[in-house]
Amino acid sequence: MGHVRAELDETERRIAAVLMASPRASWRTVARTLGLSERTVVRRATPLLHDGTLRPTAVRNPDRFPHLIPMALRIRCRPSRIRAIAAGLARRADTVWVDILGGGDEISSVLFLDGPQARTSLLLRDLPATTDVQSWDAYDLMKVFPAGFAWSGGLLTTDQFDSLTPILREPGAAPEIQPLDEALIDQLATNARAGYDDLATRLGTSASTVRRRLDLLTSGHMVRLACELDLRLLGIGTEALLWIATGPGSLEAIGHELSRHPQVRFAAATTGTANLLVAVAAEDLGGLYTFLTRTVGSIDDTRSLEVTRILSTVKRTGRIRPPDA
């Protein structure tokens, strides 16, 4: 892996947007979507994948894996130790997102914990034993809204986006998970664009079997495919978490509505004082203000709102952020 890019030009941004919306899109599909030649797409995209600027990955959908317990944590700790604590969290296999928030003394993390015992161990053993962790709040994610699974940073037209995102359609029947599926998801987490032949070799099976099982996993919403990168490369300079309290009867509709917004990366219904967690990406503070006043402000039955800026990202979609990103 080489040096991660410090900037992208307009063509590279558009290619990145397609791969974020559809990480396994063929080069032909990317070219057709953007009105470019396939040769241009390959020439411009391949270096971005090779140097780690674009990081195709995959994560299990906790709604489809009953043993997984999705949880959000807000951890308050000594500022002098916050990066070390965040790095330790990021090294855990069960953390999906790890961000440093607000004034530099708080960490937010989303975890998919492997059963009740893992949840108990985290809250009663691991966190209390971590030096310089002062306090924390834990929120169970009762529902992760799937519309946020496909995201393009708002850089694609509606027609382009809709043509690339079958995951937003109603899920098919959930297949019975086989050991091969678990191994396949682990391989995709390392590189979601790995070819069928390469995956088959690694898994000791045939390419046709890999294709069939992957089709079942994606059509059944068992797995979320993603392509991570430093959002600053897309012109996104402000990210924030919104902790929203709604009326119980409005939670489902508001969660779905916000999860479909092009500035929303993630939305989930939570336990706790706030019952909706939303991750927002905006060009700048003015863009965040506009989202809050026009989008959130126009929603009926929003009873309270807390906004926490994301200062630094350590891990996203199960992938640790490169040091120089």
Q: Which pLDDT value is given to residue 1? A: 56
Distance, CA of 171 to CA of 148 (rounded, Å)? 14
Q: Which pLDDT value is given to residue 103? A: 83
pTM: 0.90
**pLDDT below 50 — which residues of the chain?**
167
3-state secondary structure of 52: coil
3-state secondary structure of 74: strand
H helix count then E strand count, the chain: 11, 11
> 10: which strand partners?
none
Q: Which pLDDT value is given to residue 282? A: 95
User: Among positive and negative, which fits the CA dihedral 273, 259, 14, 286?
Assistant: negative
Torsion angle, alpha carbons of 60, 61, 66, 70, to 10: 90
> 60: which strand partners?
223
| Residue keyed to tokens 């027609």 | 159
| Residue keyed to tokens 């091969």 | 180
- How far the first Cα of the chain sits from its last, in Å, is 13
Read out DSSP for 230-252? -GGGGT--EEEEEEEEE-GGGHH
Distance, CA of 102 to CA of 276 (rounded, Å)? 19
Distance, CA of 261 to CA of 171 (rounded, Å)? 20
Residue 280 CA to its chain's centroid (Å) = 12
Distance, CA of 310 to CA of 228 (rounded, Å)? 16
Q: Which pLDDT value is given to residue 167? A: 47
Q: Environment class of residue 175 by beta-carbon count within 10 Å: exposed (0-12), middle (13-18) or buried (19+)?
A: middle
pLDDT for 113-169, tens place per residue?
999 999 999 999 999 999 899 999 999 999 988 766 678 888 888 888 888 875 455
